[in-house]
Amino acid sequence: MSKKDEPVRPEARLPKGLFDTSASELRATADMLAKIRVVFESYGFEPLDTPAIEYADALGKFLPDQDRPNEGVFSFKDDDDQWLSLRYDLTAPLARYVAVNYHSLPKPFRRYQSGAVWRNEKPGPGRFRQFTQFDADTVGAASIAADAELCMLAADTLEKLGIPRRSYVIKVNSRKVLDGLLEAIALEGEDSTSKRLSVLRAIDKLDRLGEEGVRALLGKGRKDDSGDFTKGAGLEPEAIERVMTFVGRNVIGVGRDEVAGKRPLNDMERVGPFEFMDNYRTLEHWTNRIGGSPLGDEGIAELRQLVACCEAAGYGSKRIRIDSSVVRGLEYYTGTVFEADLTFEVIDDKGRFVRFGSVGAGGRYDGLIGRFLGDVVPATGFSVGVSRLLSALIALRRVDLSTVRGPVVVLVLDRDRIADYQRHAQDLRKAGIRAELYLGEAGMKAQMKYADKRGSPCVVIQGGDERVKGEVTIKDLIEGAEASKAIADNVAWREERPGQFTVPETDLVNAVRGVLARHKA
Amino acid sequence: MSKKDEPVRPEARLPKGLFDTSASELRATADMLAKIRVVFESYGFEPLDTPAIEYADALGKFLPDQDRPNEGVFSFKDDDDQWLSLRYDLTAPLARYVAVNYHSLPKPFRRYQSGAVWRNEKPGPGRFRQFTQFDADTVGAASIAADAELCMLAADTLEKLGIPRRSYVIKVNSRKVLDGLLEAIALEGEDSTSKRLSVLRAIDKLDRLGEEGVRALLGKGRKDDSGDFTKGAGLEPEAIERVMTFVGRNVIGVGRDEVAGKRPLNDMERVGPFEFMDNYRTLEHWTNRIGGSPLGDEGIAELRQLVACCEAAGYGSKRIRIDSSVVRGLEYYTGTVFEADLTFEVIDDKGRFVRFGSVGAGGRYDGLIGRFLGDVVPATGFSVGVSRLLSALIALRRVDLSTVRGPVVVLVLDRDRIADYQRHAQDLRKAGIRAELYLGEAGMKAQMKYADKRGSPCVVIQGGDERVKGEVTIKDLIEGAEASKAIADNVAWREERPGQFTVPETDLVNAVRGVLARHKA
């Protein structure tokens, strides 16, 4: 075949923003999801699954920061020319599901769902085009008790995963309160839509930019470290003051500016050096700031009920905290909004100490299902960012990805006896022991290397001598590795053969069990 | 707002061929997948996950019966104009993964993967546009022992799920043997490609159409019951005979035509009234039929090794059977092909008894990874059709989708005391009991109906009287339902209140535990 006729080889590569997941990360994720599932089930939520593909118009466009249609979503045409989209979250498909099955569902309807979602966005650090969410939603419950329950569920989930108390906080706000604030600075009405959005986005950045940064974004705008300028909301100084006295942290006592960024924080500081105001005091403070706006008052009254529910069940303001800085980008929220926030610090890629931040969020969206039914169907939900949460558990050393749990490897010394070796592997499997036959072409030395790479606890060896005597040799790789550190001499090594012993073939399973038991701890 | 200005409501609906999955089916599927995972792990396979989206050219087009490009696959353009596709199986992404990571992987590389795949096809009964596969593959092992292992893994998987022996068979064939047969009837070379495909597809239909149907498809063609005509391969009578003596079932003894379709089969008949030839005899029979073709001889020799491996490990011809009718539609198979076949009968939607058939399949594809690397990388795999397998377990009554495991429901009698009720629910959850607060607006009677619909074992009730005394009432819904059958009189009912009892609030958890324990069996 001439060079010209050679087939063009496709390049093996992944599109940007998409990733493969390794065995250790998958196992850790599966363990984590199983624990989350237990908590969600304990609150009475039932599992549901919906397909990845939906009609584009049924999903609607409710992504944060997406003003143009089709932006942010993977879409394609069906053969009848209708637009299909990959789901970008699990809430829009739930709304579609409830609308389709409204009459047969128990009401309220509680479901949890875990699955991949897709965003057609520019990928960046920690920003992927496919990621997994784990959601719980209650549909058909207008009661603020439903929101309170989700806040408690969020706290329980984090604790179940081993995140210590005072290392997390569930921060709660209300869109009604925020709208009350906007009313108070005369930003109601359709004409002010984009200005309202700018103000909310500025508030949302309090954690990252601090008070000065937010103040700039509320006014003329802000130039960041790289010199890029973000246009501000253009509020008058008086309105800016009004917003700032509302969003100013409800913190009593010392700030942490003196230490942050200068030296590593100690453990006490890392879990949060602040003392926050009691929730009732925060709500009173808000009443003084935005009281008089009917929407604002309604929001404050709802949050007061939420706090009462949580406190009665033992969840105080150290775990579930009313906090003015929570905004949430999604357009469809109508009432309570909340965030599960990890307060400990980690080192970012520039070597700075930064708070870990949000690992999940949610809120009330009473209008979303009504889009289909033309009727208000109250609903509220909470969504966990699965890979963010796994990173947090790794940072807290609750999860160790380096642990390899490999199978026992049965070596192949005599290729003609492969059926015998297969039988050894099969005997181990039948006894519930992970085992594999070496299936490659390489010699003894490479087979031992393979077993090492697989993280095998031991290998099973049967050469001609052993077969004649009806015996097998077992080499304990963990003990062997430790012993090899002690024995420097190559000759001594060959004589001692640490961790290696020979047993009758009929004792194979018991002998391997012994090795596994020895290394269990 | 005038009628004209009302917003257009989107219609809540799902695209064709896509389905939601209910709680009971999800739970049953999760249980099933967990068992499959245990078997796959016991053979040393490690989990891997790849994204749903890949470059179209990296996936390639290897769907059965898809001659036109882009057919069968959901595709769309990335913002840099490159074509992306949703994966249509888990094998093509594995090939891409191995090619990308070739140097760092242990070789042979064994991975399992479970996940959704998408086919842009016309949906039909049992034919969806999204479905789940569960695959195990061994890459980098040319040894036929790798294929043997997958056949045993398939058998173990079915038995682990409770499918009894003699209700399934793993049927094995080889593309090399089939190619040898085609060589023997002078169908080698590129000119005969489409004719070869027609012959293979005809053989593939033996189970469904019987010998007469296959004979017609090998010759001029066949008219089906609806009158549709399928064009045949156009073989000469002599060639047809040659093919038929090869594919003719290797059955000894009675057929089942006398009973099938006339009366329900008894259990013995249903698990298979045939006696099949021993595998070695089948292979000898094949040698006589296609002997002399080098490729055919190679295939037969490989299958003989596979049989030896399986028999040494205790898997005889009743479980893993050499069978001429297995072809497999995928173009990329190069050697062994096999199918996990359920032999018991179920009633189809026309009321006829039909064999359940295939729930999984696989084979060797030594060329697929080489597409990227320009080098032969031997590989073999097995893929389970997850929803087909679940249907089989339901048909065998190994899985019961009607079992509802609902939470305890705490009723809300006095809306002002919702924080108290929340605390009761929270106490139950902390004790590991699934519990929920009734979050709707309805009265007592509707709340009881809700608890019934949720499948709750009991409800917790606290009215004003009980609260004053510091008590709660527990109503056992399972006992109550049984008792209500016995008590016909409405008055007697109200006096007896079967299954209902009152305890001090502090005994709530223990009392509910008692009810749950009573109904555990």
pLDDT at B290 over 70: yes
DSSP A256: S
Residue B103 lies in a domain: yes
Q: Which helix (H) or strand (E) holds A239?
A: helix A237-247
pLDDT for the residue B254 = 33
Instruction: Name which of A9, A23, A58 is nearest B48 (Cβ-Cβ).
Output: A23
Find the CATH number of the domain harbouring A428. Answer: 3.40.50.800
**Contact between A429 and B58 using a beta-carbon 8 Å cutoff:** no
Residue B488 lies in a domain: yes
Whole-number Å distance between alpha carbons of B154 and B493: 55
pLDDT for the residue A445 = 94
| A146: nearest CA partner in chain B | B439
**Contact between A52 and B116 using a beta-carbon 8 Å cutoff:** yes
- Per-residue burial over A36-64, b if 16 or more Cβ lie within 10 Å, else e, is bbebbbbbbbbbbbbbbbbbbbbbbbbbe
**Contact between A418 and B145 using a beta-carbon 8 Å cutoff:** yes
Q: Around Cβ B146, how many Cβ atoms within 10 Å?
A: 26
pLDDT for the residue B159 = 97
A133 and A222 in a single domain? The answer is no
Domain limit, last residue, from B365, B395, B427: B365
pLDDT at B82 over 80: yes
Distance in angstroms between the alpha carbons of the first and the last residue of chain B: 60
Residue B171 tokens, joined: 């049927």
Q: Which helix (H) or strand (E) holds B372?
A: helix B370-373
Residue A2 lies in a domain: no
Task: Taking residues B428-432, report their average pLDDT.
Answer: 95
Pick from B53, B122, B138, B428 the residue to mutate for testing the A interface (most A CBs within 10 Å).
Answer: B53
Using an 8 Å CB-CB cutoff, list chain B residues near A320.
none
Highest mean pLDDT among A181-195, B271-285, B462-476: B462-476
pLDDT band at B125 (very low <50, low <70, confident <90, very high): confident
Task: Taking residues B391-408, report their average pLDDT.
Answer: 87
Domain limit, last residue, from A291, A310, A342: A342
Q: Are A364 and A355 in contact (CB under 8 A)?
A: no
Structural domains counted in chain B: 3
pLDDT band at B255 (very low <50, low <70, confident <90, very high): very low
The minimum CA-CA distance between B368 and chain A, rounded to whole Å, is: 11
| B142: nearest CA partner in chain A | A440
Pick from A53, A404, A409, A452 the residue to mutate for testing the B interface (most B CBs within 10 Å).
Answer: A53
- For strand A320-322 and strand A168-174, is the pairing parallel, antiparallel, or unpaired? parallel
A447 and A500 in a single domain? The answer is yes
pLDDT exceeding 90 applies to what percent of chain A? 60
pLDDT for the residue A190 = 77
Residue B469 lies in a domain: yes
B194 and B138 in a single domain? The answer is no
A414 and A468 in a single domain? The answer is yes
Task: Taking residues B177-188, report their average pLDDT.
Answer: 88
pLDDT at A319 over 70: yes
A197 and A137 in a single domain? The answer is no
* Torsion angle of C-alpha atoms B234, B235, B236, B237, degrees rounded to 10: -110
Whole-number Å distance between alpha carbons of A336 and A144: 8
pLDDT for the residue A144 = 95
B429 and B344 in a single domain? The answer is no
Pick from A426, A434, A449, A516 the residue to mutate for testing the B interface (most B CBs within 10 Å).
Answer: A426
The minimum CA-CA distance between B244 and chain A, rounded to whole Å, is: 33
B45 and B111 in a single domain? The answer is yes
Instruction: Name which of A47, A55, A84 is nearest B23 (Cβ-Cβ).
Output: A47
Residue A157 lies in a domain: no
A217 and A241 in a single domain? The answer is yes
A397 and A426 in a single domain? The answer is no
Residue A53 lies in a domain: yes
pLDDT for the residue B86 = 96
Condensed to tens digits (0 to 9), the pLDDT of residues B84-111 reads 999 999 999 999 999 999 999 999 999 9
Least confident of A71-75, A108-112, B275-279: B275-279
| B309: nearest CA partner in chain A | A419
pLDDT for the residue A114 = 97
The minimum CA-CA distance between A439 and chain B, rounded to whole Å, is: 5
pLDDT for the residue B249 = 56
Find the CATH number of the domain harbouring A137. Answer: 3.30.930.10
B496 and B420 in a single domain? The answer is yes
Q: Mean pLDDT over all residues of chain B?
A: 87
More confident residue, B266 or B285: B285
The minimum CA-CA distance between B337 and chain A, rounded to whole Å, is: 18
Instruction: Name which of B26, B145, B409 is nearest A439 (Cβ-Cβ).
Output: B145
Range of the domain at A27: 15-142+366-403
The minimum CA-CA distance between A26 and chain B, rounded to whole Å, is: 7
**Contact between A450 and B107 using a beta-carbon 8 Å cutoff:** yes
Domain limit, last residue, from B331, B365, B399: B365
pLDDT for the residue A191 = 81
**Contact between B423 and A311 using a beta-carbon 8 Å cutoff:** no
**Contact between B10 and A57 using a beta-carbon 8 Å cutoff:** yes
A219 and A125 in a single domain? The answer is no
Instruction: Name which of A48, A82, A434 is nearest B42 (Cβ-Cβ).
Output: A434
Residue A249 lies in a domain: yes
ipTM of the complex: 0.88
Instruction: Name which of A57, A106, A453 is nearest B454 (Cβ-Cβ).
Output: A106
Residue B471 lies in a domain: yes
Instruction: Name which of B58, B75, B371 is nearest A13 (Cβ-Cβ).
Output: B58
Burial of A489 (0-12, 13-18, 19+ CB in 10 A): exposed
Q: Are B47 and A135 in contact (CB under 8 A)?
A: no
Using an 8 Å CB-CB cutoff, list chain A residues near B46.
23
The minimum CA-CA distance between A72 and chain B, rounded to whole Å, is: 11
Residues 6+ apart with CB under 8 A from A34: none
pLDDT at A260 over 50: no
Phi, psi of B330 (to 5 degrees): -65, 135
Whole-number Å distance between alpha carbons of B117 and B87: 6
pLDDT for the residue A264 = 42
Whole-number Å distance between alpha carbons of A15 and B55: 6
A236 and A274 in a single domain? The answer is yes
Whole-number Å distance between alpha carbons of B273 and B343: 10
Whole-number Å distance between alpha carbons of A59 and A144: 26
Condensed to tens digits (0 to 9), the pLDDT of residues A338-377 reads 999 998 888 877 888 888 889 999 999 998 998 898 888 9
Residue A500 tokens, joined: 């290696």
